Amino acid sequence: MKALTVKIPETLDARLRRKAKAGNESVSEVVRRALIRETDGDPVDFAKMAAPYRGMFSGPVDLSTREGYGGRESD
């Protein structure tokens, strides 16, 4: 395996060490997993990112149910 030296802030180091300890794994394993996720090239899952905001807005679930929209009267 190749070795890589990366400079990170102390706060990130502390977070990595806590995560590694909680998962009973090495800091290197946590960092490798994060690097794989970052470099996979998979598209961002918008639904997952938007999930915390679900239900924050009011209005009809299906906009086609709004009165005056989508009918012949709007032509």
User: Mind listing the pLDDT tens digit for each residue in 27-49?
Assistant: 999 999 999 888 887 677 888 88
User: Per the confidence metrics, is the pTM higher than 0.75?
Assistant: no
pLDDT score, position 46: 84
Q: Check if the beta carbon of residue 17 is closer than 8 Å to that of residue 27.
A: yes
How many C-beta atoms lie closer than 10 Å to residue 25's C-beta? 13
The DSSP-derived string for 35-64 is HHHHHS-PPP-HHHHHGGGTTSS-S-SSGG
* Identity of residue 63: L
| For the chain, percent of residues with pLDDT exceeding 70 | 80
Half-sphere exposure (Cβ direction) of 3: Cα atoms closer than 13 Å? 1
